Amino acid sequence: MIALIHGPAELLRAEALAELAASCGDDPELVDLNTTRLDGRTVSPSGLENACDTLPFLAEQRLVVVEGLLARLAAPTRTKARAGETPEDESGEEPAPETSRGHAKSILAYLDHVPPTTLLVLVEENTAGGPALRKLQELSREGRAKIITCEKPKRNDLPNWIRARAQQRKVKLDAGAVMDLAEFVGDELRQIDQEIAKLGDYAGGRTVTREDVRKLTPATRAASVFELVDALGSGNGPVAGRLMTHALDIDGEPPLRLLGMIARHYRQLIQLKALQAQGVRTPDIARTLGIFEWKMTGLVNQANRHSFARLQQAMERILAADESIKTGRMTDREAMDVLLAELMQS
């Protein structure tokens, strides 16, 4: 039997491999004893065949895991370097090991002959197509191979993935906790999983709140910055002033980085307003700008408060503050305070 585990989600690849390993026997020590790991970038046809043809010891099946083989087989065949030459590409980096056409054919032909006593698992971060993938798809249609795709959830599906993972770990998250994990940790699934486990241990059975996430998850330090730019876009001067003070004096946020986040927000408002003027639907705007759909209502309301001219004027004032800091015409704090006052007047 052959299995292909492929896709960019490293956590899901690892979990799929663990599940396949568990299917090889009930005794983890025996499974480990009967497991061989090979580097697909360098393994020879004979090395692969020897590993797969070896009979399992005190078990019904052995496990052979090969990482990176399909990527190697999909790569163009390289010619050997002439004497005295270094086999480097134009970037100066050493290329992947050469795969001769004969080796590739031998490996592809062997896939038809993997013994039933061996589970051969091919692990790939990316499958670039090629004859090996086509061969595995053919074997899959015949019931002789399994293909497991490990994709990261789409941006707007990420909150649902977080809820499902928390439920799997028997951790209760409130809506704010889910949204903060999605917003600030992003699609790094292993990190999200680790944060959920940590939050569950901290909460001790109670529901994890947004405040818990912001207290324990380092990535959410930026939360106050996002609240700040929302307050600026909404014209809420008192809240924006308090959050700016918190970001600069308590969180130690570098002023130029803070300016960059403010500029990014106003650019988004300009882009959103331009797409609205073209008649683009809100869900399509969210996809174009890479924004969660659940954040769009607030952004649309902010964009509607401003004309194009006012938003462009705001961008000019942000650029002026950046120049004032970089040239030393104003101190960091003076430039940020002046910018806050100007944005609240615009």
Q: What would the mean pLDDT of 190-215 be, rounded to a whole number? A: 93
- pTM here is 0.64
Q: Is domain 222-345 in CATH 1.20.272.10, yes or no?
A: yes
pLDDT of residue 14: 95
89-98, 115-124, 252-261, 331-340: which range is least confident on average? 89-98
Q: Mean pLDDT throughout 158-164? A: 95
Q: Does domain 155-216 have CATH number 1.10.8.60?
A: yes
Virtual torsion, Cα 64, 13, 21, 142, nearest 10 deg: -70
pLDDT score recorded for residue 92: 41
pLDDT of residue 198: 94
Place of tokens 């795969």: 99
Higher pLDDT, 183 or 81: 183
Q: What is the H or E stretch that residue 96 is in?
A: none
Residues of the chain with CATH 1.20.272.10: 222-345
Higher pLDDT, 105 or 209: 209
> Does residue 239 sit in helix, strand or coil?
helix
Average pLDDT along the chain:
86
Q: What is the pLDDT of residues 208-257, one digit of tens each?
A: 999 899 888 876 655 678 888 988 999 988 888 888 887 888 777 888 98
18-56 pLDDT tens trace: 999 999 988 989 999 999 999 988 889 999 999 999 999
Task: Using alpha carbons, select from 233, 255, 239, 238 the residue that is nearest to residue 311.
Answer: 233
CA distance 130 to 75: 8
CATH superfamily to which 2-78+97-149 belongs: P-loop containing nucleotide triphosphate hydrolases (3.40.50.300)
In which band, very low, low, confident or very high, does the pLDDT at 82 lie, cut at 50, 70 and 90?
very low
pLDDT of residue 129: 67
SS3 345: helix
Range(s) within the chain of domains with CATH label 1.10.8.60: 155-216
C-alpha to C-alpha distances, 296 to 17, 200, 264, nearest whole angstrom: 38, 30, 15
pLDDT of residue 41: 86
Q: Give the rounded percent of residues in the chain with a pLDDT score beyond 90.
A: 58
Q: Where are the domain boundaries for CATH 3.40.50.300 in the chain? A: 2-78+97-149
Kind of pairing between the strands at 118-124 and 35-39: unpaired
